[in-house]
Amino acid sequence: MITAVRLPRRHATRSAKPGPSREPPKPPAVPPSPAWRRWLLPIILLVVFILLLSRAHQPSTHSLAYSAFLGKVDTGKVKTVDIDDKGGITGKLKDGREFTTRIPTALGNTGLEQELRAKNVDITASSSSGGASWVGPLAALLLPLFLLGALFLWTGRQAARTLSGGLSGIGRSRAKIIEAERPTTRFDDVAGYEGVKQEISEVVDFLRHPERYAVVGAKGPRGVLMVGPPGTGKTLIARAVAGEASVPFLSVTGSAFVEMFVGVGASRVRDLFDEARKRAPSIIFIDEIDAVGSRRGGIRLGGNDEREQTLNQLLAEMDGFDQSSGIVVLAATNRPEALDPALLRPGRFDRHVTVPLPNQSERAAILAVHARGKKFAPDVDWNIISRATPGFSGADLANLLNEAAIHAVRAGAAVITAGDLDSARDRVLLGRRETSNALLPEERQAVAVHESGHALVAALCEHADPVAKVTILPAGPALGATEQLPEAERHLYSEGFLTDLLTVRLGGRAAELVVFGEGSTGAADDLAGATQIAGRMVRDFGLSPALGPVGYATTGTAQRLGEEAPGDSLHRPYSEQTQRLIDEEVARLVRQAEQRATTLLRDHRAALDHLADLLTTRETVDGSVVLDVLRQQPGLPPTGHAD
């Protein structure tokens, strides 16, 4: 699969690393129990096992009939006998085997003594004990029961220690309580997000000076919900609020409330707010609140009642605590649509703060923060890197710098260069770069033609982003790539830009049709992306004359350009006739884009062949080479541009 143009990503961000912190004072430790106690039960079990094993290996005693006993006496095989007062005989044969028998009461032992003496058998006599018959079986019955009871007792104590206080500790909240002196993160440590910090600074001011609000009768915010994509630094901003306000900070995740035991979640919510009241003024931070605050009444498999009870308790606690006590609840989620409406109403979460992806200037500041502790070459320019990473979050930028550092170490360098950052960006976006190109010669030529088509069409289209780099080195699932960097960060997309975007998407397939006269499977990813963009142009943006200004957006502004809405084929808000019209318009837009790209490449066939030859030889060229190839072609200068 050949990957060409990629739309700017719009995901998540974490702006700065949490500052160092000191551990809170620990409670006095309970004196440990003697070490020999933990080994007592295993030693007893081992001794009993050895005794049973030795008993099992004792010589077996077999029972003989009285007539067989007399026969062995006659043949001289009996060595010793012991006769009790009830006629029981135990003895030992000359071959070492033991036996038991009994003298019939009617016969008595008349003549047996003389016969035993005649055969030189040692004779002894003993008296039988009445209790001996039941002591052994009773001990054999009670001993396993005793051992099982001791084993269960020992296991229960070990489990109690694991549960941190036994069953009474299950209902305790698992919040990390960070005392006032510990949060060292401040707003200055959070790069960018000036609007977010200004909006949330009122929470800090309320916690610092609650009397100022009481004078005019104003009430501070009871709860603040931070909404944003993953990695946008919501947890970091919450820690910065605690650091600025210098108050205790109780942090817990939404999943920590839900357990397999009924009522545990509600108990933990109560315990969490009790801990906050003891430390008021304080901040409660609930990360990933959608794990416990999702909509009620939906059909779910397992744990639905327990989750609803936990949510109900959370709603009651947020309504119940005294607002003058100085307790503020901060929560973070990246799925606000999944939250219950009762949780979002004023009086519970009064403020909804959106933490968006960073813009270009904020990305440069975030890169500078994550660059601390790393060595960079003088050719590294954060403005260029931030421009080359549209849609990257703070977490993505941190990963980018780490990948660049790994690449520099692998190359044996002591500093990180701009080339390392460029290779790290390709690895993040495309995957691991294959240094050994294992393509067949004809495949290598086809990939070069395909990527040359993308690059030339991008340079020839007026509204397309400049070409930064073209490569035919495989990376991940892509056999080649044409990278474009926007000159400025866009928030609105015009119809001309979208039309040029479609044309660039189909530039690779058009080049194959111009040079080889047929397409290939390498354009599969391009066709899928172009179809999605054309579908959104028709269905969401009202850019089709056939449908007119009608939009059928399924996810509103949350849907990103170039993404297919989940469940798009289900519950469509239009008829089958409208769907047929949408399909026709999508096909029309894609065909027009392919025809336009084909026409442009036929008019610049010499430049296409020249650029494909350069790619086959060099494997990677930058955008200036694309412009040079177009300038060398006789005719009008190109209308596009490259980076």
Alpha helix segments (H runs only) across 57-105: 66-74
β-pair partners for 122: 80
Tell me what the mean pLDDT of segment 570-595 comes to.
88
Q: What is the pLDDT of residues 487-517, one digit of tens each?
A: 777 778 889 999 999 999 999 999 999 999 8
And the tokens for 113? 């003594």
pLDDT value of residue 591: 94
Tokens 């939250």 sit at which residue?
A: 339
Tokens (6 digits) for 282: 């304080």
What Å distances lie between residue 545 and 3, 164, 496, 573, 586, CA to CA?
31, 68, 15, 20, 12
Structure-token pair, residue 339: 């939250």
pLDDT class for 349, splitting at 50, 70, 90? Answer: confident
Q: Is the pLDDT of residue 110 over 70?
A: no
349, 350, 223, 338: which is closest to 288 by C-alpha? 338
264 and 228 Cβ atoms separated by less than 8 Å: no
The length of the chain, given as a count of residues:
643
Whole-angstrom distance, CA of residue 353 vs CA of residue 195:
10
> Is pLDDT of 371 > 70?
yes
- Sign of the alpha-carbon dihedral angle for 187, 348, 276, 280: positive
User: Around Cβ 107, how many Cβ atoms within 10 Å?
Assistant: 11
Give the integer Cα–Cα distance in Å for 397 and 9.
13
Q: How high does pLDDT run on average in the chain?
A: 75
What's the pLDDT score for residue 384?
Answer: 83
Report DSSP letters for 439-465, one per residue. Answer: --HHHHHHHHHHHHHHHHHHHHSSSSP
233 φψ region: left (φ > 0), alpha (ψ -120 to 50), beta (else): left
Q: Which helix (H) or strand (E) holds 126?
A: strand 122-126
pLDDT of residue 181: 45
pLDDT at residue 170 is higher than 80? no
CA 348 – CA 223 distance, rounded (Å): 6
- Identified catalytic residue from 451, 483, 512, 585: 451
Task: Give the span between the Cα atoms of 119 and 76, in whole angstroms.
Answer: 6
Residue 79's pLDDT band (boundaries 50, 70, 90)? confident
Numbers of helices and strands, H then E, in the chain: 22, 14
SS3 per-residue string spanning 206-265: HHHCHHHHHHCCCCCCCEEEEECCCCCCHHHHHHHHHHHHCCCEEEEEHHHHCCCCCCHH
Helix axes 495-505, 441-460, angle to 10 degrees: 160
Greater confidence, 158 or 498? 498
| Cβ neighbours for 294, distance < 8 A, ≥ 6 positions apart | 307, 311, 338, 339, 340
- Residue with the bigger pLDDT between 7 and 541: it is 541
Where do we find the tokens 């357990």?
259
> What pLDDT score was predicted for residue 619?
83
Q: Are 392 and 367 in contact (CB under 8 A)?
A: no
DSSP 538: H
Instruction: Give the pLDDT score at 169.
Output: 45
Of 337, 350, 54, the closest CA to residue 213 belongs to 350
Which has the closest alpha carbon to 463: 490, 431, 427?
A: 490
Instruction: Please report the domains of the chain, with CATH numbers, ordered by start residue.
Output: 1-57+130-357 (3.40.50.300), 61-128 (3.30.720.210), 360-430 (1.10.8.60), 441-632 (1.20.58.760)
Query: Looking at 384-524, which runs of residues are DSSP E strands?
Result: 467-471, 481-484
Q: Measured between alpha carbons, how far is 157 from 314 in angstroms, rounded to an integer?
A: 33
The answer to whether the beta carbons of residues 510 and 594 sit under 8 Å apart is: yes
Tokens of 395: 């977490």
pLDDT tens digit string along 17-43? 333 333 444 444 445 556 666 676 677
Q: Has residue 637 got a pLDDT over 60?
A: no
pLDDT at site 344: 84
- Top-confidence residue, 297 or 407: 407
End-to-end CA distance of the chain: 26
Query: What separation in angstroms does the CA of 240 have from each of 188, 199, 350, 371, 638?
Result: 9, 13, 20, 20, 51
For residue 508, what pLDDT is reported?
A: 93
**Maximal C-alpha separation, the chain:** 140
Confidence of residue 528 (pLDDT cuts 50, 70, 90): very high
Is the pLDDT at 119 greater than 70? The verdict is yes
Residue 421 has pLDDT above 90, yes or no: no
> Residue 619 catalytic?
no
Identify the band that residue 643 occupies on the pLDDT scale cut at 50, 70 and 90. very low
User: pTM (2 decimals)?
Assistant: 0.61
